[in-house]
A and B are shown apart, each in its own frame.
Chain A
């Protein structure tokens, strides 16, 4: 991988810090059942709304469920959604972007459609689609991917267009390479950097938007733990149980912040010129 060669953990403190935080978060979410003995969904009415203590590190919620436990499972859901959305947008955005960039004949039609899609705020498309397909993890993954893929497609397209007329692609074609070989071997490999940077920002955005959808009640449905839905619960108990709202919010910020930091770091590392073209 190109970026591993350039990466130096001392020279790129942003990347190093963010990777450490992300590894910790992934570890916490993977080993949630080992780290905590409590169940994220079972109610203990007698222990309801307990402030943080040694028994309940971050207190309990209105059903007596351990907030720390629910946060671990919540970040697990966030990570699953984020990762799935990143993979789906890379595949769909990649295919559409390559098709549009490589074949000028379909470019115009596809671009008009993408322009129109980009006129809708991502969260609005996602809310509407989640309402159509119904709530649930699988449906919000599809809804968010649908909302994000236009931007990914545009980035892939512009990268393909800038590469496809370069001399080495020309010479590959002269040597008799087929389209499929040129796309896979030359174009995809050389447009990996902007795709990876955008994918990192999409990951961050997906965690934020999943939380917002679950908060509004069209995302992951209770009692399954989700950081956004935890904030919805906490809302009614803000005055008597402030720990309930602080913990999930800080967890979201931590995850999104480290992903944005990683995206910034990768962008500076891979291609300083990307600064003005990729936005998150």
Chain B
């Protein structure tokens, strides 16, 4: 097991390297000279040249790439063109709302999705099954930006339960922070619940066909104990895989809902950076998302060994 973990950690290096390469070239091929965006139309040629030099943009792309690579390997993502602060500092400042939204959405999505999926499988081909299929199909078909606006209209504008937009940090507002993140989290949880419910249902249906379930049934065990004690654990592997794979969808979703609810998280920052051509911030945001995704999926792979003792990774 330990050897397997070490091997997997080593495999992360080439993947993260390619991620960095993609992030660098995507952002540096952007049209719209960042220097001209910063200085505006009235800038003279010498001003442009001076700023280009101070940002290091006058050097050839390939030179910049290796400089940049050696910097990020030392944890230095450069300085934001606009905020005039180190990117890593800016990113750390904005991580709290994104983290809270993603975690809350994942908790809601997993609970809701697994409940729906288990219910559907236990009541296969009955009303509850149809009901849960319909709900989960809606979950994966509703555009998140639209759902966010509808929830905002219903619960913030009409009912006044939550603030329409904005954010107060945990240090300022304590538990009051959750008033700002509930709607964004519910928006993202909807899609996750749909994806998880579909996978839970089909994995459970496969498990319930197994011989040992028939044995449990003929022993006279109740449906409840069969479903929760015997079938659930054995259906978890595909469900966990789906959760891991779709974490990328969730992180991508934070870019959209943070923009809609004007929450100063990493996603809102990234969208703004794209609009302003703030290259160091865009690079760091893209790498941030990809690295979280890769590490999470490493944990997913490792969790298989705990769920299924047959897998021992030698």
Contacts and interface: CB of A to CB of B under 8 A. Distances in A.
Interface stretch (A23-31, A67-75, A116-124, A174-182): A116-124
A106 B133 CA distance: 41
Interface in B144-159: 144-146, 149-150, 153, 157
B147 to A, nearest CB: 8
Nearest to B134: A257
A216 interface: yes
B144 A212 contact: yes
Interface string A223-260: 00000100100110011001001001100110011001
A62 to B, nearest CB: 16
A99 interface: no
Contacts of A211: 143, 145-146
B30 A132 contact: yes
A280 B256 CA distance: 19
B22 A257 contact: no
A119 B141 contact: no
Nearest to A132: B30
Determine which residue in B203, B206, B255 has the highest number of CB atoms from chain A within 10 A of its CB, and name it: B255
Contacts of B27: 128
Contacts of A276: 199, 202-203, 206, 238
Contacts of B206: 275-276
B232 interface: no
B19 A121 contact: no
Chain B at the A interface: SS class: helix
Interface stretch (B109-117, B119-127, B178-186, B288-296): B288-296
B299 interface: no
Contacts of A102: none
Nearest to B144: A212
B19 A116 contact: yes
A197 B19 CA distance: 28
A265 to B, nearest CB: 12
B118 interface: no
Nearest to A151: B245
Given A119-B15, A119-B19, A128 B26 contact: yes
Contact of B146 (A116, A121, A122, A231): A231
Interface of B: 14-16, 18-19, 22, 26-27, 29-31, 137-138, 140-146, 149-150, 153, 157, 195, 199, 202-203, 206, 238, 242, 245-246, 248-249, 251-253, 255-256, 259, 270-271, 274-275, 282, 286, 289-291, 293-294
Given A124-B251, A128-B27, A257-B141, 11 more contacts: A116-B22, A116-B290, A119-B290, A120-B289, A121-B249, A121-B289, A123-B255, A128-B282, A131-B30, A256-B141, A257-B138
